[in-house]
Amino acid sequence: MSEAKILIADDGKVMRVVLAASLKKNGYEVVEAENGQEAVDRLREHGDFDLVVLDIQMPELDGISALKEIRKSHSRVELPVIMATANDQEEDVVQAFELGANDFISKPINFPILKVRVETHIQLKRASEELARKGGNSTG
């Protein structure tokens, strides 16, 4: 799999650094954001991300609000979003999925599980892009 670009947003510096290191170790290019607003801004500036990992509880713009902004311009297929939180509140999980999250992971993050979830969502995104290319090129 060619290198994918992942945006991670978490207000916890240690979590962000550990998460970024884990993803980089698996061959991904990683861009970090300290909060939801910074994540939305980075996405607008460099819209070529393959996946976003968003913490739900962040200052300035929380993960749910950032997800709403992201979904205004990017579909679930175009840009998969994995929500992360230490607070396994059922309402948060349900709301995130209803607003367009592709997946959810609990903190503390189990990195082998995150790795396979990231790989799966990126493979699905690329397969969808390939189908769209083939469909667009058909003379049928």
Share of the chain above pLDDT 90, in %: 81
Handedness of CA 83, 86, 117, 50 (dihedral sign): positive
Domains and CATH numbers, the chain: 5-137 (3.40.50.2300)
Q: Is 138 a residue whose pLDDT tops 60?
A: no
CA distances for 115 relative to 65, 137, 140, angstroms: 25, 33, 39
pLDDT tens by residue, 77-118: 999 999 998 877 888 889 999 999 999 999 999 999 999 999
Cis-peptide, bond into residue 108, ω within 30° of zero: yes
Q: Which one is predicted more confidently, 24 or 136? A: 24
Q: What is the pTM of this model?
A: 0.92
- Residue 2 — pLDDT band, cuts 50, 70, 90? low
